[in-house]
Structure 1
């Protein structure tokens, strides 16, 4: 039997005061992806099926390279935020912190690898 008040039992379990900021960040990245993904598909579709030299020449132009780079960055940051929210909602304890760190590292590593490949292709 516990003699704690309802307030004492609920203390520390309430709002983290960051939900609205996270919601708007996810909404902004969603709108960004809504614009970037069709542009990426359009630009990538033009290069699809070409020889290596044609693809390198195509991605040497600024517009396709910038669209691809922005899509990589915004897409992986959006993934990181969504995965972190899912982990925070459904896991507890040490596994929660390890999973959040792992998702963050994987996301930023994927961004770095994608941008490195794009720079190698464009230059």
Structure 2
């Protein structure tokens, strides 16, 4: 006879309370690794482009390589920011209405900043 050390609640609901803790943890780590790779590339290539000069900076962001690296960096940074702020809000805001409003605002802010950055890059590239 096999004896289980699981509680009855754990046998019924084996995923725990949130059902997504591991996925969120992995997503945050993947976005951090992406930032660790793409951010130095962005900084070095922007610095080598002669960025204090406005014409050089504009030509960097208008180039396909500069636009892609910039968009990848912004995407990883904003996604990582959204995930990190989500954890803070879920851990420290206990009122359901306030928590929900802040989580929606967090997602809208990240999406809005990404859209503004993508629009600016497209404006420079075209």
Given the two structures, how large is their TM-score scaled by the length of structure 2?
Answer: 0.81
- The alpha-carbon deviation at position 39 of structure 1 amounts to 0.8
2:86 counterpart SS class: helix
Correspondence for 1:11:
none
Equivalents in 2 of 1:110, 1:59: separation in Å? 17
* Aligned ranges 1:53-72 → 2 under 5 Å: 53-72=55-74
Larger RCO, structures 1/2 (Cα 8 Å, 6+ apart):
1
Correspondence for 1:3:
none
Equivalents in 1 of 2:59, 2:84: separation in Å? 35
Deviant stretches of 4+, over 4 Å: none
What count of residue pairs does the alignment treat as equivalent?
A: 111
Correspondent of 1:76 among 63, 75, 78: 78
Offset from partner CA, 1:78-109 (integer Å, 9 cap, x none)? 10011011100000121111111111111100
Unaligned runs of 5+ in 1: 1-6, 8-13
Given the two structures, how large is their TM-score scaled by the length of structure 1?
Answer: 0.83
Unaligned runs of 5+ in 2: 1-8, 10-15
Correspondence for 1:107:
110
Equivalents in 1 of 2:118, 2:31: separation in Å? 18
1:71 counterpart SS class: helix
* Contact residue 62 and residue 121 of structure 2 kept, 8 A: no
- The alpha-carbon deviation at position 57 of structure 1 amounts to 2.2
